[in-house]
Amino acid sequence: MNRREFNRSLTAVSGALGLGALSGRLTGRSARQEAVSGARISNPIAVSTYSFWRFRSDSRMDIPTCIDQVAEMGFDAVELLLMQMQSEDDTYLQSIKRQAFVNGLSLCGMSTHQGFVTPDPEERQRNVDLTVHQIELAYKLGIPTIRVNTGRWGTSSSFDELMANRGIEPPLEGYSDEDAYPWVVDSLAACLPTAERCGVVLGLENHWGLGRTPEGVLRIVDAIDSPWLRVTLDTGNFLEDPYDRLELLAPKTVLVQAKTYYGGGTWYTLDLDYNRIAAMLRRHDYRGYISLEYEGEEDYRTAIPKSLALLRKAFSRPA
């Protein structure tokens, strides 16, 4: 008997026996029935420690303090910014893992930095070695995925200039993006044996460099074609017409980074429709974490709780 025939028979029997509630549970529950049963009806909502730090000299909160803030605000998980760590020794790493555990928080991801967009093979190898090390740090922390980048050409004089140019950067003289794709593919592929051994999925972010477009991200991910290299989807890194671009990446997404900009953003502000983004991700059966990256000027103590409420509402399935 196939599934459709089974469900039809079950409905008929349960109706005859007055067991409609049983049939409802087994043949397709509404969100309201799931809530009554205790089943989860929302994506788990995390927050990146970057949201409290944001590369600002006046707000560089350490990770233990961030974890306490995250727990008090009521998030489900925390994503770590590796650059924010005060140490990489085992005692420090395990204290972070313990602190998250006793606060009822998952360590759901870690954002790392590396760059493979360079014609120098020795520099690319240094970044492969760096990424392998980062994978091993995530393994020690029990973190299942790390955000990775392609890197960029570095021809902008500053990040402010890069942002002023909407993330577009000219290649080094004598080179093109076509030269850079094989560098990135080969470098990330060299990291995958360690990722598989450690059980850490690499999530290539739609960021700057070759990751500035969904086509660029997918060209790399599809070329490698491994379950250990997928996509970290950042809602705030497509500055024009984001929704169709985000949807192109949704089928291969393992972590969503959700930007908010209360009080206006530092470099730019996007008016993102999270109800629309949540509906799109549901169409692709995305069940994973939504990790807040707050980038606004409003005080984090009011803006981050508002962001949590926004994301909770958007990513709860409608009754």
pLDDT of residue 19: 36
Q: Report the percentage of the chain scoring pLDDT > 90.
A: 77
Q: Is the pLDDT of residue 252 over 80?
A: yes
User: pLDDT band at residue 6, thresholds of 50, 70 and 90?
Assistant: very low
What is the pTM for the complete model shown?
0.86
Mean pLDDT of the chain: 88
Q: Which residues make beta-bridge pairs with 293?
A: 259
User: pLDDT band at residue 55, thresholds of 50, 70 and 90?
Assistant: low
